[in-house]
Amino acid sequence: MRAAVYPLLLALALAPWVSAQEPVPAGMVLIPAASDPAQTAQPTPEPVGAFYLDIYPVTNGEYLEFVRANPAWQRSNVKRLMADARYLQHWAGDLELGAAAEELNRAPVTHVSWFAARAYAAWKGARLPTLAEWELAAAASATQPNGDKEPGFRERILAWYARPTPPIPASVDLTEENYYGVRGMHGLVWEWVGDFNSDLMGIDSRGGASGDGPLFCGGGGAVDGDRTDYAAFMRRALRGSLKGSYCLTSLGFRCARELTAVPINPSQL
Amino acid sequence: MNTPRFFLFAFLTSALAMSAFISTAAEPTDRCCALTPLDAIAPADAAVTTLPDKSLYLLDSSWKNQHDQTVKLADYSGRPVIILMGYLGCQTACPLLLNKAETLLAELPEKDRSQVKPIFVSFDPAHDTPTSATAYIAERGLECSGWDILMGTPDSVRELAAILGIRYQAQADGNIFHSNIISVLDDSGVIRAQLLNLSDEPRPVVEALKGLTR
């Protein structure tokens, strides 16, 4: 009986070392599990486990590689079920970025639907982050996991929301990294999440109303979360107005990935 | 022109027709079972070769039905479908949603009703199983209208919901908040009408269904 315990103890002792061997996927960073679910500014206070997240949003240049390898996702082939008529409308053709190619190359890809974003992520062996994961990573300022504690953090985000959308978003290289090493969570484009349609903004809590109900007015009454975080509220309002086939001027995405082995915090042993 | 005789003939024919109607209406259980079983109807154009660009049947996801068979959504092509999403443990909105769908079907003439395939897709594949789905169908008397209950993966459920414009969110207590949308698909899987709210006027949806039946 007791003998059976020793391998287990050994395994536990080795666990931090073993997990440290797991290489972080290229272009991604590890976002540790959320200690305080409330910091994720998301509707369901569910704990968020550790995951990998792209440092940068996916660029036009990267997306071009995807459509080259997957002709079904080229502009003239895509099914309207999966992407509306605005899909990649800012490109010159199926495989041409056009005159602004140089600028577009490192700018986040936009005019992509949720289905397209999912297909890209699957092609990369990744997935879209969940709403909770995205909000967790987005809650960090440059110096802290919870940016709310940093003066001016929320105000800077809101100031971006107030600026008009430029015809071409800035290069992802110009963004600053946050506490986790993630860049461009705010200030570039809005981003799809895997469960964007889990946001019940506009649906009352009895589930009696339609998904296309009031989006910016009373609809928020049924949702939880920090109501002083107006930036998070605005993101929720946007998600509440989206359909999976929408392709918008300022809506892009980035990928996330599961951990294959969950690192164990040595302090918990 | 022998007018009185014509009227007599007309009266007798209509009386005959009415008595036939009354006798079927008097036996509700028989009426239900007298419907042609849906699966026995051979859809004339089941093999839709090229699906329209907006067809739901472009989705490649696999589902389990209440008979524990693996099905694709495209297997339903060739006939009109009404489709809604819910979960078997739902005590509040889903029974109302099902009732609403049954009401829509009941508004159709019998010949039309038997052509429409009703589908209930589960939000909760972790809890809903073919066994519990079969029990649910029996408990609620859903066999008559030919309901299929489909269970998928969390991913395929999320995807289908996105296409149908349905939002849902699991709660910590096991309940799922969700929008109540009933969609009508034509025989090639394109959404032709939607009831976006339980309190919506059902007529447009009923009319859409009538227009899709043969």
Residues B61-84 have a mean pLDDT of 97
The tens digit of pLDDT for each residue in B101-119 reads 999 999 999 989 999 999 9
From A173's Cα to the closest Cα of chain B, the distance in A is 32
- Write out chain B residues lying below 8 Å of A208, CB-based: 93, 180, 197-199
The helix or strand, by DSSP H or E, that contains position A16, with its residue range, turns out to be helix A2-20
B177, B186, B197, best to mutate vs chain A, most A CBs in 10 Å: B177
Tokens of A118: 């999912």
User: Between these two residues, B32 and A110, which has the higher pLDDT value?
Assistant: A110
Q: Which of A79, A199, A206 sits opposite B167 (nearest CB)?
A: A199
Residue A82 exposure: Cα atoms within 13 Å on the Cβ side: 21
Across the interface, do A207 and B162 touch by the CB < 8 Å criterion? no
Residues A206-224 have a mean pLDDT of 36
Give the pLDDT score at B48.
52
The tens digit of pLDDT for each residue in A1-46 reads 455 555 555 555 545 444 555 789 999 999 999 865 554 445 555 6
B153 touches A: beta carbon within 8 Å: no
Say how far apart CA B73 and CA B150 lie, in whole Å: 10
Average pLDDT, chain B: 83
Question: In chain B, which residue's Cα lies nearest the Cα of A239?
Answer: B167
The tens digit of pLDDT for each residue in A186-198 reads 989 999 999 999 8
Query: Predicted confidence band at A221 (pLDDT cuts at 50, 70, 90)?
Result: very low
User: Between these two residues, B37 and A258, which has the higher pLDDT value?
Assistant: A258
* Cβ–Cβ < 8 Å for B80, B184: yes
Q: How many CB atoms lie within 10 A of CB B194?
A: 20
Residue B64's nearest CA partner among B12, B144, B7, B120 is B120
B198 touches A: beta carbon within 8 Å: yes
What is the CA angle A134-A140-A143, rounded to 5? 155
Say how far apart CA A114 and CA A252 lie, in whole Å: 9
For residue B22, give every residue at least 6 positions away whose Cβ sits within 8 Å of its Cβ, in sequence order, or none: none
Check: complex ipTM more than 0.85: no
A46, A135, A195, best to mutate vs chain B, most B CBs in 10 Å: A195
Instruction: Pick from A188-197, B3-12, B165-174 the range whose average pLDDT is largest.
Output: A188-197
Least confident of A1-5, B89-93, B104-108, B136-140: A1-5
Give the pLDDT score at A177.
93
Across the interface, do A207 and B177 touch by the CB < 8 Å criterion? yes
User: Between these two residues, A226 and B23, which has the higher pLDDT value?
Assistant: A226
Residue with tokens 């910590």: B172
For residue B174, give every residue at least 6 positions away whose Cβ sits within 8 Å of its Cβ, in sequence order, or none: B89, B127
What is the CA angle B35-B38-B40, rounded to 5? 95
Query: Predicted confidence band at B178 (pLDDT cuts at 50, 70, 90)?
Result: very high
User: What share of chain B has pLDDT > 90, as a percent?
Assistant: 64
The helix or strand, by DSSP H or E, that contains position A117, with its residue range, turns out to be helix A114-123
Residue with tokens 């975080």: A229
CB contacts < 8 A (A, B): 85
What is the CA angle A32-A235-A44, rounded to 5? 55
Give the pLDDT score at B174.
85
Say how far apart CA A203 and CA A211 lie, in whole Å: 6
* Cβ–Cβ < 8 Å for B167, B158: no
Say how far apart CA A90 and CA B177 lie, in whole Å: 37
* Cβ–Cβ < 8 Å for B198, B96: yes
The tens digit of pLDDT for each residue in A104-154 reads 999 999 999 999 999 999 999 999 999 989 999 999 999 998 888 888 888
B209 touches A: beta carbon within 8 Å: no
Q: Which of B58, B93, B169 sits opposite A206 (nearest CB)?
A: B93
Give the pLDDT score at A241.
87
DSSP-derived pairing of the beta strands B176-178 and B168-170: antiparallel
Give the pLDDT score at A21.
58
Q: How many CB atoms lie within 10 A of CB B62?
A: 13
From A73's Cα to the closest Cα of chain B, the distance in A is 13
The helix or strand, by DSSP H or E, that contains position B178, with its residue range, turns out to be strand B176-178
From B198's Cα to the closest Cα of chain A, the distance in A is 7
**pLDDT(B164) > 60:** yes
For residue A18, give every residue at least 6 positions away whose Cβ sits within 8 Å of its Cβ, in sequence order, or none: A261
Question: In chain B, which residue's Cα lies nearest the Cα of A42?
Answer: B169
Cα torsion B75, B77, B82, B83: sign = positive
Say how far apart CA B22 and CA B205 lie, in whole Å: 28
Question: In chain B, which residue's Cα lies nearest the Cα of A81?
Answer: B54
Say how far apart CA A25 and CA A100 lie, in whole Å: 30
Across the interface, do B93 and A207 touch by the CB < 8 Å criterion? yes
B170 touches A: beta carbon within 8 Å: yes
- Can you name the residues that pair with B140 across neighbouring β-strands? none
Across the interface, do A244 and B162 touch by the CB < 8 Å criterion? yes
H runs (alpha helix) in B114-152? 130-139
- Write out chain B residues lying below 8 Å of A126, CB-based: none
B174 touches A: beta carbon within 8 Å: no
Give the pLDDT score at A27.
95
Say how far apart CA A29 and CA B53 lie, in whole Å: 38
The tens digit of pLDDT for each residue in A64-107 reads 999 999 999 999 999 999 999 999 999 999 999 999 999 999 99
Across the interface, do B166 and A197 touch by the CB < 8 Å criterion? yes
Query: Predicted confidence band at A223 (pLDDT cuts at 50, 70, 90)?
Result: very low
A197, A203, A212, A236, best to mutate vs chain B, most B CBs in 10 Å: A197
* Cβ–Cβ < 8 Å for B85, B187: no
Query: Predicted confidence band at A234 (pLDDT cuts at 50, 70, 90)?
Result: confident
Say how far apart CA A126 and CA A258 lie, in whole Å: 8
